[in-house]
Amino acid sequence: MRSIAAWLGLSALIVVFDQITKLVILGTIAFGQTVDVLPPVFSLVLTYNPGAAFSFLAWASGWQRYFFMLIALAASILLVYMLKKHERDRFLCFALALVLGGAVGNLIDRVIYGAVLDFLLLRWPGGPRLLDPWPAFNLADSCITIGAALLIWDSIRRSRVKRL
């Protein structure tokens, strides 16, 4: 995968899978209902998050919807630019494509539902109360998180190479 089209294709595939999973959840689980999949660790629960990660600004009066839509749109444009600029760097482009797919998936939610649809719920039995349960999330959130972690790893890797 060395062309921007391939990386954009990967991002589009993430968006499609993200939206399909959300439609399946919408068709099978009622709002607030919890379905234990792997008790007590993993459940499905339909929630809407009008805020950002960890429900940041979820309490706001509604302006945050447009604020986060604007951020997602600006980030997506920047990510496409970076994909084009670095299209030969497979690792970097893979990470950027993950973040782009996740950002667009959640942007679609904000446009359609006014909030991001979350449904995956992890618990840490016996762990710190702060982390139990973990906030609900979705496939797009997972791709953003993995992509961001890979970008950090890539940055560390590049800084080590420059020092040598």
Q: Catalytic annotation on 36?
A: no
Residues in the chain: 164
118 part of the active site: yes
Spell out the residues 6+ positions from residue 140 whose beta carbon is closer than 8 angstroms to its own. 14, 15, 18, 101, 102, 103, 104, 105, 106, 109, 116
Catalytic residue among 18, 109, 141, 154: 141
Pick the catalytic residue from 89, 118, 132, 154. Answer: 118
Write out the two tokens for 121. Answer: 């719920």
What's the distance, Cα to Cα, between the start and end of the chain in Å? 29
Beta bridge partners of 117: 48
31 and 10 in contact (C-beta within 8 Å)? no
Instruction: Give me the active site residues, please.
Output: 118, 141
